């Protein structure tokens, strides 16, 4: 079975990835124009397994009640995703913010993009 067929079996969750587009300047008026964000409906995989060991970089005070919400998303190659993107799972209503830059590995033929993210409700 080709790798793309295997990865399609893994990327099963319908997700909506919304990425803001860069502002442009209107040549006639000179005003800055902010385009509407780009939304893509894709099939991906959301997991609460982090892409890095975040426990080593987290400090809590004694007696502090803290929940660490580190998530990983796998998206098909070609999906527009940046550190400004949000990922929504329409079936549950959950929404995440991408943390940092998604993977970029041009040295081989990637079959998916991986990114770390955090539930938006946990970012307070």
Say what the pTM is: 0.74
How many CA atoms, within 13 angstroms, populate the side-chain half-sphere of residue 108?
5
Cross-strand partners of 77: none
Confidence of residue 9 (pLDDT cuts 50, 70, 90): low
Q: Say how far apart CA 46 and CA 87 lie, in whole Å.
A: 10
The pLDDT tens digits of the residues spanning 11-60 come to 688 999 999 999 999 999 999 999 999 999 999 988 886 655 555 555 55
Cα–Cα nearest to 88, from 54, 58, 44, 36:
44
Structural domains of the chain, with CATH: 3-21+33-52+67-122 (2.40.10.270)
Helix (H) or strand (E) holding 38: strand 38-47
């Amino acid at each position: 079975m080709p790798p793309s067929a295997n990865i399609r079996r893994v990327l099963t969750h319908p997700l909506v990835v919304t990425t803001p587009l860069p502002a442009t300047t209107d040549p006639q008026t000179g005003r800055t124009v902010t385009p509407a964000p780009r939304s893509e409906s894709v099939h991906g995989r959301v997991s609460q397994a982090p892409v890095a060991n975040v426990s080593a970089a987290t400090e809590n005070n004694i007696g502090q009640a803290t929940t660490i919400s580190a998530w990983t998303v796998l998206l098909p190659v070609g999906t527009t995703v940046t550190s400004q993107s949000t990922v929504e799972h329409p079936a549950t209503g959950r929404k995440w913010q991408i943390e940092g830059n998604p993977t970029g590995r041009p040295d081989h033929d990637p079959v998916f993009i991986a990114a770390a993210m955090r539930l938006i409700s946990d970012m307070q």
